Amino acid sequence: MFAEKASELHRAPIVPASGQQLAPNEQPAPIENLSTAKRAALIACLKGGGTLHKRYGVWVAEAAGPQDKPVAGITVADLSRDGMLTLRLLGKSASAQLTPRGSWFARTGASEIAAL
């Protein structure tokens, strides 16, 4: 039973129903304060439904393609300390999920890219 509940929580992304864009009345996050690596990691997490998985020593989104770069563990650790990702460990499996704050920063970054 515990494994089923943990699996449900593990799969529930914290990505708003509005998708990957900021709401019209939502202020943008101060994304310019983040490094390029942190921005890329948050956007990769957003593209992956709000979750990154650790595979072969690096973090990747579920929907990562061959052109997507893996995310370094130190970047995931930094984002976790910044309150933007929550780390979950279940046995030997590890995942990182966007927090509401991390989702805000990721959606701001995605909106900036879409505006280009």
| Domains located in the chain, CATH noted | 32-115 (1.10.10.10)
What residues contact residue 61 under an 8 Å CB cut-off, 6+ apart? 44, 45, 47, 48, 49, 51, 52, 53, 68
CB 59 within 8 A of CB 23: no
State pLDDT tens for residues 83-104.
999 999 988 899 999 999 999 9
State pLDDT tens for residues 30-74.
999 999 999 999 999 998 899 999 988 899 998 777 888 899 999
Q: Which amino acid is at 36?
A: T
State pLDDT tens for residues 17-36.
445 678 888 899 999 999 99
CB 109 within 8 A of CB 90: no
